[in-house]
A and B are shown apart, each in its own frame.
Chain A
Amino acid sequence: MARVEDGTLLAGQGRFAADAAEGAHQVVFVRSTEPHADILGIDTAAARAMPGVLGVYTAADLGLDGARLPVLTTPNPAFAEATGFQMAEQRIPLLATERVHYVGQPIVVLIATDRYRAEDAAEAVTVSYRGRAPVTDAATALEAEPLYDHLADNEIARIGYSFGDPENAFGRAHRVVSGEYRIGRHGAVPLETRGAVARPDRRLRRVDLTTSTQIPHLVRNAVRTVTGWAEHEIVVHVPDVGGGFGTKANVYAEEIVLAVLARQTGFDLAWIEDRQEHLLSAAQGRDQVHRTRLAVDGQGRILAWGDEFLVDVGAGSLWVAGIVANTAVHALGPYRIPAVRMSGRAVLTTKTIVAQYRGAGRPEAAFALERTLDAAAAELGIGTARIREINLLTDTDLPYPRPIPYRDGEPIVYDGWDYRACLTKVRDLLPETERERLRAEHPGALLGYGLGCYLEATARGPYETARLRVLDDGAVELATGAAAAGQGHATVFGRVAATALGIPEDRVRYRPTDTERLPDGIGTFASRSAVVAGSAVHNGAMRLLDRARALAQEVLGGPVEYAGGVFRRGEAEIGLGGIAAHTRGDPTALDVTETYRPRTVTWTMGVHAAIVAVDRRSGMLSVLRYAVAHEGGNELDPEIVRGQILGGVAQGIGGSLFEEYGYAPSGQPLSTTFAAYHLPLSTDVPNVAVAHLHVDTPDNPIGARGAGESGTIAAYPAIAAAVDDALGGRIHCAATPLDPGLIHGALRKAAVLA
């Protein structure tokens, strides 16, 4: 069944940021060409004199000297206390003035009558630099001179906790396996790049900013923090968004500067990022190294788990607290683990800034734990399925508390049903015997089977909002604080509202998020929207119905029956539209803004299985079969849940096999075009079999759990494990993207030995 959105989007009638740019002047940013340097001077005179150029501005010209990007998340005090979380202050400027910290960092902004002239002028701006040493590696950064003057070193966040006497367990264990695992730097790379349009209104003294974002309210808040404007002076609108995946759940200097520039100049302004700019300067993700230790007994039971990780956040990350905490929490995995020692650090380097990318610490944590588990299985000579069977939490363990709080300060309790059932199910969907069957079809390849498990906290708070309003014909207008970026919010939230109100789905009008219609909200990320915004919609609809019922009783003079949008008392009846007309003098009567605050997160778990072919001659990889079995909640739209899994798997395959933001030792980025940054193609992604094991949660009114990141998290370890298996254990893949050269080397060594 098509989504409500699809008719418009598939007909090319979507309205994206660039479609809102009509009549606006074009804005281009002059970006740093240096990874790390002092700025000695900025000469804009030549650019100002060029035809079609309407203005060229440094930070000082905009009164933004010293202005910084505000961080987007700070840790809950109880969580920080329990996990030893600490964070240093970050000073990422809006426009660099004294020093640059990555290639692509904005320095100057200019306005021209079209993008061609703007790019000509950008070339004519001269920035003089005095180079400083680049730092492209997190381990080096720990030893390097501080990249920011206000810091004593380059560590900007740390976490460390332990429970259950791990050292004793490591000392007494039957076996302790250790490893080092790395997930390369890559990112969302959505179909639509970033982009924003700012239109100032001098009489109202406000700026309307239409931006391709997942978090309009946080963008508005950041503009206000920087400028001191009142709430009514900056309204953020979300157009159709062609994918975000976390890279647009970030507030960007470009968005804030555009709003300031529009007000200062009075011009309507558009900044539509091009692809090269995106690959250079949009927030990136992952880039973690984990040093692990796992203690097991003779049967393979986990006795203790240790993980020491390092996150390279480039020149900074507004989400550093989230990424570090996510990693440290999700590294606990879906297993019975009695003792843990966890420590992590986030480090500054001279690479592009980092934000959350689908999974945001979870894929890295899963890669470390799952790969270490596979190493233990190999060490003990038991199968990779067997070691998971032994350790996965079952219905006798669950709900399963952990002795640390979650990021919201609430105690962690995994609220699943039976995680081992997901393993059984995925092996039904994709049995290992399928590998044998496929061998005949692929004589030139070695085939391997791999498994990967994940655990995910979804639906984090603190809250989300929804507004529902009855229109004069009885239809219901709906908006949510969680903005849509292609996920199908109109379909899903429309259905939640229609179900609660007992009206047909086509009687609900979903309005794209804007901060005027709905002044408060958080945004779409962290597998949260369906649950948190969905619950707000549900509760809001119920409240709207209560109000309507009270009004109907007033009009009809006593108790009423309700069905399908109409209240009845005997022969008399009044519909929602009738009540709206009746209360015309009080527009708030049938207009409800609801805030839903989840008690804490709800957990999902799943297992991925992959069959991967390794070409005997080239060591190159192809994923032949893929399956995911996951424990999830009430499916508000089963096709959309499935789509989330499929898209997540595609991105996981991309990160496992191809995608990487590379940097030369000189600090220059190497992946600034699609000739160098390789996205997964349709030919790289097989069909994915999905099984949804229903475990509805009583914790929210719609019984839902998050599913947005489930498809990505375990893809990396499952694919790596399949390559290990294909080579009969002659390799243990420990870094992504998987390197065919390394695999080929192992193949050749094996051939020489054989």
Chain B
Amino acid sequence: MKPAEFTYYRPESVGEALHGLATLPDPKPLAGGQSLLTLMNLRLARPATLLDIGRFTELARVFDDTEALVLGALVRHRTCETDPLVAARAPLLHAAAGHIGHLGIRNQGTIGGSLAHADPAAELPLAAVTLGATVHVESATRGKRALSAEELFVSFYANSLEPDELITWITVPAIRPGQGWGFVEYARQHGDYALAGAGVLLSLDARGRIAGLRIGLLNAADRPLLFDEREGTAPVLGELPEPRLWEGLGWRLAALSEPSHPDTEYVKALCASAISEAAEAATERAGENT
């Protein structure tokens, strides 16, 4: 379990890193290394150049913007889990982060790294699509662009970035009055990957009816699966958020999932449970958040 030969390069600035990504042979950015280094040790990843961006403190910051929370790509999972600002403005992200692996992993792992790794079983990609996050990327040759989290995820461990692009910032819409959230996952052991999990972001109107609904599922397809008003959740708009409704919706959406686990019937049932449990929690929180 030793990696194949590679060149280690530690740029001093984001500019240098972007330049390196554009010019060095087969480069791979190294942030917290919690997925990449394991894959390299198993020789499943064999980049020729490791470009260590892990010490760019400027990208480890969290800002509060008017209607959004802005996170640097190097914000650690542990920061998402413990920072009161994240907890107040993006509570679903905060809750999801606490479910990632073990403490040592959360101390090292970064949000940008997790999104770029594009593991459909991971918590932060799920949180990003559920919350409708925007991913900001930069390249030395192409400049800057922004894409939605949904656009980022292509398939298992595959993202839509160009090889010379680096994720720099992530903006997450801040929770608004009338909104409630829920995050539920079923894992057999503490810190293990979940068999199924759901994130729910619910908006209620003044009459307490469903005005908006985004539901994400993890480990249910080749990428984090999103159901929103355009696709999947429109039928319940205008309805009263009741347990029966959630149960029915959970089963309907779970039927659309394509879990890779061999016991698909079981995992789909778990997806349905996770959706209704998370939606019930979201309903309660939306009621309290006026």
Residues of A in contact with B (beta carbons under 8 Å apart): 115-116, 119-120, 123, 274-277, 615, 617-620, 657-658, 673, 675, 678, 681, 683-684, 740-741, 744-745, 748
A116–B2 contact, CB under 8 A?
yes
A675–B191 contact, CB under 8 A?
no
List B contacts of A619 (CB < 8 A).
Answer: 266
In the complex, 19 of the A-B residue pairs with CB atoms within 8 angstroms, ordered by the A residue number, are A116-B2, A116-B3, A116-B5, A119-B1, A120-B4, A275-B1, A615-B186, A618-B195, A619-B266, A658-B188, A673-B42, A675-B193, A681-B189, A740-B188, A740-B266, A741-B263, A744-B266, A745-B265, A748-B269
Interface residues of B in 1-32 (CB under 8 A from A): 1-5
Which of B2, B43, B190 has most chain A Cβ within 10 Å? B2
A618–B273 contact, CB under 8 A?
yes
* Distance to closest chain A CB from B124 (angstroms): 18
Interface residues of B in 175-227 (CB under 8 A from A): 186, 188-193, 195
* Distance to closest chain A CB from B271 (angstroms): 11
In the complex, number of A-B residue pairs with CB atoms less than 8 Å apart = 54
Q: Pick the residue among B2, B5, B186, B265 that contacts A620 (CB under 8 A).
A: B186
B188–A274 contact, CB under 8 A?
no
A274–B1 contact, CB under 8 A?
yes
* Distance to closest chain B CB from A126 (angstroms): 16
Q: Quick check: is B270 within 8 A (CB to CB) of the other chain?
A: yes
Q: Whole-angstrom distance between the alpha carbons of A467 and B286 in the complex?
A: 74
If over half of A's interface residues share one DSSP class (helix, strand or loop), that class is named, otherwise mixed; here it is helix
Q: Quick check: is B277 within 8 A (CB to CB) of the other chain?
A: yes
List A contacts of B2 (CB < 8 A).
Answer: 115-116, 119
If over half of B's interface residues share one DSSP class (helix, strand or loop), that class is named, otherwise mixed; here it is loop
> In the complex, how many residues of chain B place their beta carbon closer than 8 angstroms to a beta carbon of chain A?
22
Q: Whole-angstrom distance between the alpha carbons of A413 and B3 in the complex?
A: 57
* Distance to closest chain A CB from B6 (angstroms): 11
Which of B43, B189, B265, B270 has most chain A Cβ within 10 Å? B189
Residues of B in contact with A (beta carbons under 8 Å apart): 1-5, 42-43, 186, 188-193, 195, 263, 265-266, 269-270, 273, 277
List A contacts of B3 (CB < 8 A).
Answer: 116
B189–A683 contact, CB under 8 A?
yes
Nearest neighbor of A26 in chain B, beta-carbon distance: B2
A678-B42 contact in complex given A119-B2, A618-B273, A741-B263, C-beta closer than 8 Å: no
Known: A618-B186, A678-B189; 9 extra A-B contacts, CB below 8 A, are: A123-B43, A276-B42, A619-B266, A658-B188, A675-B193, A684-B189, A741-B263, A741-B266, A745-B266
A276-B273 contact in complex given A675-B193, A744-B266, C-beta closer than 8 Å: no
Nearest neighbor of A657 in chain B, beta-carbon distance: B188
A617–B190 contact, CB under 8 A?
no
Nearest neighbor of A620 in chain B, beta-carbon distance: B188
A683-B190 contact in complex given A120-B5, A274-B1, C-beta closer than 8 Å: yes
A681-B266 contact in complex given A116-B2, A119-B2, A617-B186, C-beta closer than 8 Å: no
Nearest neighbor of B196 in chain A, beta-carbon distance: A618
B1–A617 contact, CB under 8 A?
no
B188–A617 contact, CB under 8 A?
no
Q: Whole-angstrom distance between the alpha carbons of A446 and B58 in the complex?
A: 49
Nearest neighbor of B102 in chain A, beta-carbon distance: A681
Nearest neighbor of B1 in chain A, beta-carbon distance: A274
B273–A617 contact, CB under 8 A?
yes
Q: Whole-angstrom distance between the alpha carbons of A627 and B25 in the complex?
A: 60
Q: Whole-angstrom distance between the alpha carbons of A741 and B263 in the complex?
A: 7
List A contacts of B273 (CB < 8 A).
Answer: 617-618
A617-B42 contact in complex given A678-B192, A681-B190, C-beta closer than 8 Å: no
Q: Whole-angstrom distance between the alpha carbons of A277 and B263 in the complex?
A: 28
A617–B189 contact, CB under 8 A?
no
Q: Whole-angstrom distance between the alpha carbons of A740 and B5 in the complex?
A: 42
